[in-house]
Amino acid sequence: MGPTPDAEPKIDTGGGDAGAGRGAGPPENGRWVQGLLSDRERTHGRFADMAAVTNGIRNYLRRGGAFAWMGSAQIVALDEIAIKLARIVCGDPSYPDHWDDIAGYALKGRDE
């Protein structure tokens, strides 16, 4: 049975994997957020660099003739793959999640 309509929602206080090793705390804790951003920069690259590469990839993909008739799920799958590709070339290319995520989004795009 689900929560009652007036029940307070449970809020993730950051105690999961994302907070491991940094004295995890609530997202409003500035040190927790800074630690998370620092970790992400090591694996994903500098955000501005990754964003520029992602947008370049997206722009090229949108030039393809089939883009006009692709479904929204396929477009989002390609966008997510573009993000993962950018993280590979801007961050840690050996980080397995990047590659695993690409495979997952490719399957989602294929199946939609």
**Rama region for 110: left / alpha / beta (φ>0; ψ in -120 to 50; rest):** alpha
3-class SS shares of the chain: helix, strand, coil, % to 5: 65, 0, 35
What's the average model confidence in pLDDT over 71-98? 97
Q: Where are the domains of the chain?
A: 46-112
pLDDT of 5 over the 70 cut: no
Average pLDDT over the chain reads 83
Which DSSP state fits 17?
G
pLDDT digits (tens, 9 = 90+) for 23-76: 555 656 788 888 999 999 999 999 999 999 999 999 999 999 999 999 999 999
Task: Note the pLDDT of residue 112.
Answer: 85
Provide the token pair at 99.
């590659």
The amino acid that residue 25 corresponds to is G
